[in-house]
Amino acid sequence: MERLEKAERRRKNLIRLGVEQGKAYAFSRTRKGGWAIAQSPIMTTTVTLERLRKRGYESMFVYYQTVNPDWNPLF
């Protein structure tokens, strides 16, 4: 029962991100874990860097540049 509730929540979230209902249903019912579907077309088009930035997430590279400003990639 818990698996179906999780899949339904995932489907609703995908629809909220703009995925059409049929595709959202198919991707929400996958048995693969998050790591396996991270590079899938559905994830790369819905969870974009712009959306992550808006939610307050920061690129690891940008963070590293702030904590180590003397780093020079050319050396």
Predicted confidence at residue 16, as pLDDT, reads 92
Q: What is the pTM of this model?
A: 0.62
In whole angstroms, give the CA distance from residue 25 to residue 4. 11
Predicted confidence at residue 62, as pLDDT, reads 87
The 3-state DSSP class for residue 52 equals helix
Q: Longest Cα pair distance anywhere in the chain, in angstroms?
A: 55
Give one word for 37, left, alpha or beta, with left for phi > 0 and alpha for psi -120 to 50: alpha
Stronger pLDDT, 74 or 11, i.e. the higher one: 11
Tens digit of pLDDT for each residue in 30-75? 888 778 888 888 888 888 889 899 999 998 888 998 899 887 777 6
Select from 14, 17, 45 the least CA-distant residue to 30: 14
